[in-house]
Structure 1
Amino acid sequence: MVATTVQKTSHRLTTQIDIIAKDTTAIRSLDWDRDRFDIEFGLQNGTTYNSYIIESEKKALVDTSHLKFKQLYFDALNQVINPQDLDYLIISHTEPDHSGLVKDLLEIGPHITVVASKVAIQFLEGFVHLDFKKQIVKNGDRLDLGNGHVIEFVNAPNLHWPDTIFSYDHGTGIMFTCDAFGMHYCSDYLYDENLQDIEPDYRFYYECLMAPNARSVLSAMKRMDALGEINLVANGHGPILKYNVKELLDRYHRWSSEQSKGEKTVAVFYISDYGYSDRISQAIAKGITKTGITVEMFDLNGIEIQEIPEIVSSSAGIVLGMPPLSSQALNNKVGTILATVNSKQYFGLYESYGGDDEPIDPLGTKLRDLGLNEAFASIRIKETPLETTYQICEESGVDLGQFLTKKATIKQRKALDSDLDKAIGRISGGLYIITAQKGETNGAMLASWVTQASFEPPGFTVAVAKDRAIESLLQVDDTFVLNILEEGNYQNLMKHFLKRFPPGADRFAGVKVQTANNGSPILIDALAYLECQVVSRMDCGDHWIVYSKVTAGRVSKSDALTAVHHRKVGNYY
């Protein structure tokens, strides 16, 4: 690492300055203690906001930082360059954690030309409230900074905002990607040399923000392929990709290809600059993707009304955020959606707490009258969303996805004449209930695929289906309780936790519990319990294998036996 400067504050906010290539410097704003980001219910390792400076004949800044870093960031920027010497500000997208200091920068340097996509310029004009020089760029456009630093732009909408654009420097082979190929991982390491350490966060970040936009990921990566060799991926969060570029890009491509194979698609319509519409839609989309259904997200601000009929007619489900009453243009687009839907589709609606939402009930009535099936109860946001709000959104998305996969699931279960399925079904397992609490959100799941995996430290594995709501609470370093059920005394607990709970329902209502040291519920009627911490996860098709170490445990009846589960076939529980 070269010429690193670290500034510390009592709030665990620091900045780091490093030269990463010829004429190119990174300023990383390290947010060590941030424990929640958008729809992600918990960050175990904080996050960073990365900004880049290219100093050639012309000088450009790629993205700024979060408003909370204002003093620290400008102190760091002034160590590298006088902001008044900047010629260009390249905006990858306008999400506040990357553009929070744009207005402050333009007040210092009003001569700076802002370079961004058309949608990004429109968003900036809406919240900067300054006249500024602008240059709208689209896919394939170039900006020559001199001395070989020719910046080529790559259109990358929905990664993960509708206005996203990548920037590739032909002089250094650096691809500036903002949110894509990043992770919420804060450490002193500038680069990705410790692949094993960052893998869980890299995958979790993808699942939360990029999986719902898998087709957009593939489209952007196809455009990237034509640019030339990529030496560095200068992302917006976490360590810069240098040592494992090919491997980590390949993972994105593989995950997105798998995610895009779904035979059915759900179209999620949101309004990026209105209320919490983008956050809510992302949470719902994340739940849908957990069921293997492909999602396509559309910002109603960014699509043309003539595109809507084709989008809607090719979708098996529709999710729609209420637009503001005052926007006739957006309401015309909603009218076009209504004119195109058909009775075979499922739908879901949500309010976004924008202050002027179109009423949700009349639209729901219209869709039901048209014969559509309501996949989940309308989500009504009446205050700033909490962790539990996003949990309801994700669970609602799971419900929608499961409705769309129901026929395929039933068909699979009817295939009972396979010797292979019958043979696998002879693998027996115990009966357990996993309970977890993270912040204000909780969950529970009946489990039978549990196996001890190590003596020291004491540990075991459990298989968790990807479409289980509790899966989001079983990330690396999360804690939970494994409740072991008693032979001959498990029917009541099993019956309770096999129920289909509506999104946001209290899974523990009417069940006797106490709180473990790690904060998760212990089922008092269980035979024994183990307090656990997730160490690692392995992708196994439609399940995650979660390996956890045991930190504490107790048996209530020393002479009782664990309940055992036997199946006839191995293609469903």
Structure 2
Amino acid sequence: MVLLTDRTQKRLTIQTEEITADTTTIRSLDWDRDRFDIEFGLQNGTTYNSFIIRGEKTALVDTSHEKFRQLYLDTLTGIIDPKEIDYLIISHTEPDHSGLVKDVLALAPQATVVGSKVAIQFLEDFVHQPFERRIVKNGDKLDLGNGHELEFVIAPNLHWPDTIFTFDHKTQTLYTCDAFGMHYCSDSIFDEDLAAIEADYQFYYECLMAPNARSVVSALKRMGELPQISTIATGHGPLLHHNVVELTGRYRQWSQAQTKGETTVAVFYVSDYGYSDRLSQSLAKGITKTGVAVEMVDLKSADPQEVQELVGRSSGLVIATPPAASATAQTAIGTVLAAAKDKQTVGIFESYGGDDEPVDPLVSKFRELGLRVAFPAIRIKDTPNELTYQLCEEAGTDLGQLLTRDRNIKQKKSLDNDLEKALGRISGGLYIITAKKSEVTGAMLASWVSQASFQPLGFTIAVAKDRAIESLMQVGDRFVLNVLEEGNYQGLMKHFLKRFPPGADRFAGIKTQPAENGSPILTDALAYMECEVASRMDCSDHWIVYSTVQSGRVSKPDALTAVHHRKVGNYY
């Protein structure tokens, strides 16, 4: 069943379906949403998935985004009398899943809210009214009758500190909310078309789960203690049924690779305060792009002993300014300061919560302890926008590169000298990639470019994973490939080779004009092509980005492309 709204600008629909025995999904389809959460771009919209499980008693797992209020409540009451809902299970309290909890409780005041201790605490601040509650721990069970015995798995930081999974033993369905999901909106309930969804699945992991890779590994271990899982009912995108083993295996592979890093950065934030969570996720994403492991900790619910242990084994610390009035967060900051040690690296950013702890005294305290500051403190004077999140991601990348600099130098010296020289004899042209997505722009000097197909016209680019522009080159993104001219490339090459500070305008002082796809064309380039990313392949420390060409032009037909020769092949 599908219900359409009367909105013409943004398509919002509801889809309901029996997905297994006694179980109905209510999927809120947000077709045109193009930004989400930590402000990463969406190519295919998203969904918010809710579920009804009927035994002798009835449980509702999660709700929906508040933008679907009337549609969702009309659909819910059309399926079930709210007075028959015995339990409202909260996988976690982020508003896109719990935005209608207060509305559901108004219709079903008899329902018992089931969640982790942290989730119940968060809901008390959100609902502002008494409600029946049941706090669950890992391994706790809830019997709905008729074989529907629910078992709870604690999965903190996936990607909020209050997350739980719910496993229905009768249907072998695991309800995981954010984990194993993707921002992908379609009429398909399940994951039968793996090729169509795998790029969005991996991009979602990189943005939301990679910064919590250690928590992913812990959750997978707990999932391994359950009986066979036949379906994973996610909170976003299609449900996993046809490719459960394959897709959970990818999470395991990606997360194990992420946690093998010798270097760890602890990122401290306050999950329900200002923009602390979103900003910290952007910083964490930038750090993980450099191959550095990240562990995220909510200052509001942090265990002092765990904080002390984490700080002690971390090479870097990133801290969101907590609310000055929060005694719990202030105590946690005190624990961080007490455990911090000389030669660690630190970064501080404002949360824009209205009552932030002042930045400068906090920075000074860490300096006095002998820590080096990785990037200038990020001060936010207006509501964070796309440029703010880009600034945070680039600051995180700078921190990660600072921590891995010595290791990378050692690796460069480790190759056989003859092999280095032989590999360096592979020559390439000189190009500038330029991209723009909404207000965010980027550019990169590239030499690993090669035509890859005739029909359609296409080529590949190797993009290092820690390059800032990498976030603007996801499947479906558009950019311009600018070809540099032999004998007339030094100015552009020198400009785009320099290191830009986080958030800096790459095009300051450079002549450009807009392409049809919105990306900058370099006026002094020999030629340009407007392109679209078609696919990406993971190649260790680079992405191989295959792109198709929509249009192009040569400004000097008789001129030649600039060619780049390297002396060695193990670094640029």
Cα deviations across residues 162-194 of structure 1 (Å, max 9, x unaligned)?
Answer: 100000000100000000000000011111111
| 8 Å CA contact retained: 1:51, 1:61 | yes
Partner amino acid for 2:363? G
Secondary structure of 2:13 counterpart? strand
2:6 to 9, 12, 16: 9
What is the aligned partner in structure 1 of residue 320 from structure 2?
Answer: 321
One-letter amino acid of the counterpart of residue 245, structure 2: K
Question: Matches of 1:193 and 1:306 in 2, distance apart?
Answer: 45
| Cα distance in structure 2, aligned partners of 1:379 and 1:197 | 38
Deviations 1:342-369 (A, max 9, x none): 1111000011111011100011112112
Equivalent residues of 1:6, 1:17 under 8 A apart: no
What's the counterpart of residue 216 of structure 1? 215
Greater Cα shift, 91-100 or 404-413: 404-413
Map 1:34-45 → 2, pairs under 5 A: 34-45=33-44
Q: How does 1:453-468 map to 2 (within 5 A)?
A: 453-468=452-467
Match of 2:18 in 1: 19
- Whole-angstrom distance in 1 between the partners of 2:416 and 2:295: 37
Structure 2 counterpart of 1:50: 49
Match of 1:280? Answer: 279
Q: CA deviation at 1:325?
A: 1.1
Separation of aligned partners in 2, 1:414 and 1:236: 46
Pair 1:350 & 2:326 matched = no
User: Could you tell which deviates more after superposition, 208-217 or 77-86?
Assistant: 77-86
Counterparts of 1:170-319 in structure 2, within 5 Å, are 170-319=169-318
Q: Distance in 2 between matches of 1:168 and 1:421?
A: 52
Moved over 4 A (4+): none
Alpha carbons 1:487, 1:562 under 8 Å: kept: yes
Partner residue, 1:424: 423
User: Following the alignment from structure 2 to structure 1, what is the Cα–Cα distance between the partners of residues 491 and 229?
Assistant: 57
TM-score by length of 2: 0.98
On the 8 A contact 1:479/1:520 being kept in 2, the answer is: yes
Whole-angstrom distance in 1 between the partners of 2:413 and 2:303: 44
The alpha carbon displacement at 1:79 in A equals 2.4
Letter in 2 for 1:168: F
Q: Counterparts of 2:534 and 2:227 in 1: how far apart (Å)?
A: 38
| Cα contact 1:47–1:184 (8 A) shared by 2 | yes
Instruction: Name the aligned partner's letter for residue 550 of structure 1.
Output: V
Q: Is the 8 A contact 2:302 2:332 kept in 1?
A: no
**Deviation of the 1:423 alpha carbon:** 1.9
Q: Which amino acid aligns with 1:149?
A: H
C-alpha separation between the residues in 2 aligned to 1:444 and 1:340? 39
1:54-81, Cα deviation, whole Å (9 max, x unpaired): 0110100000000111111011112221
Check the 8 A contact 2:82/2:108 in 1, yes or no: yes
Q: Deviations over 1:460-502 (max 9, x none)?
A: 0000000001000000110000011111111110110011111
| 2:126 is equivalent to residue 114 of structure 1 | no
**Distance in 1 between residues matched to 2:536 and 2:513, nearest whole Å:** 28
Aligned partner of residue 550 in structure 2, secondary structure: strand
Three-state SS of the structure 2 residue aligned to 1:312 is helix
488 and 415 in structure 1: CA distance in 2 versus 1, 3 angstrom threshold: farther
Stretches of structure 2 lacking an aligned partner (at least 5 in a row): none
CA contact (8 A) 1:368 1:374 kept: yes
* Structure-to-structure mapping, 1:22-33, within 5 angstroms: 22-33=21-32
- What is the distance in 2 between the residues matched to 1:199 and 1:335? 43
C-alpha distance in structure 2 between counterparts of 1:39 and 1:307, whole Å: 26
Q: Distance in 1 between matches of 2:479 and 2:299?
A: 40
**Letter matched to residue 322 of structure 1:** T
1:545 aligns with 2:548: no
Q: Which residue of the partner structure matches residue 85 of structure 2?
A: 86
Residues 338, 367 of structure 1: 8 Å contact kept: yes
Question: Counterpart in 2 of 1:517?
Answer: 516
Report how far residue 416 of structure 1 moved. Answer: 5.6
Is 1:266–1:318's contact at 8 Å kept on the other side of the alignment? yes
Structure 1 distance, partners of 2:415, 2:121, is: 57
Secondary structure, aligned partner of 1:427: coil
Q: For residue 558 of structure 1, report the CA deviation from its aligned partner.
A: 0.9
Matched to 1:449, the amino acid is: W
* 1:496 alignment counterpart: 495
SS at match of 1:355: coil
Secondary structure of the structure 2 residue equivalent to 1:233:
strand
Q: Is the contact between residue 2 and residue 13 of structure 2 (CA under 8 Å) also seen in structure 1? A: no
**Match of residue 331 from structure 1:** 330
Of residues 554-563 and 287-296 in structure 1, the stretch that sits farther from structure 2 once superposed is 554-563
How far off is 1:108 after superposition? 1.0
Q: Which amino acid aligns with 1:7?
A: L
Partner SS state of residue 160, structure 1:
coil
Distance of 1:416 and 1:176 partners within structure 2: 47
CA contact 1:266–1:293 (8 Å) conserved in 2: yes
Q: Please tell me whether the aligned partners of residues 299 and 328 of structure 2 are also in contact (alpha carbons under 8 angstroms).
A: no
CA contact (8 A) 1:40 1:208 kept: no
Which residue identity lines up with residue 116 of structure 1 in the other structure? G
1:389-538 aligned at under 5 Å gives the runs 389-415=388-414, 417-538=416-537
- Compute the TM-score of the two structures, normalised by the length of structure 1: 0.98
Asked whether the equivalents of residues 416 and 422 of structure 1 are also in contact (C-alpha less than 8 Å), the reply is no
Question: What does 1:104-183 align with in structure 2 at a 5 Å threshold?
Answer: 104-183=103-182
Residues 424-479 of structure 1 deviation map (CA, whole Å, 9 limit, x = unaligned):
21111111110000001000001010000011111100000000010000001100
Q: CA deviation at 1:399?
A: 0.2
Q: Distance in 2 between matches of 1:544 and 1:434?
A: 14
Aligned to 1:412, the other structure's residue is in SS state: helix
Kept after mapping to 1: 8 A contact 2:482/2:527? yes
Instruction: Tell which deviates more after alignment, 8-17 or 542-551.
Output: 8-17
Does structure 2 conserve the Cα–Cα contact (< 8 Å) formed by 1:232 and 1:245?
Answer: yes
Paired residue type of 2:33: R
Distance 1:5 1:566 in 2: 59
Whole-Å separation in 2 of the counterparts to 1:527 and 1:38: 39
CA drift at 1:307: 2.3
Q: What residue number does 1:102 align with?
A: 101
Q: Which runs of 5+ in 1 are unaligned?
A: none
Larger mean CA deviation between 163-172 and 39-48 belongs to 39-48
Counterparts of 1:332 and 1:74, CA distance in 2: 41
Work out whether residues 32 and 186 of structure 1, in 8 Å CA contact, stay in contact via their aligned partners in 2.
yes
- The amino acid across from 1:283 in the alignment is S
For 1:477 and 1:226, the matched residues in 2 are separated by 38
Distance 1:165 1:416, change over 3 A: closer
Distance 1:153 1:299 in 2: 22
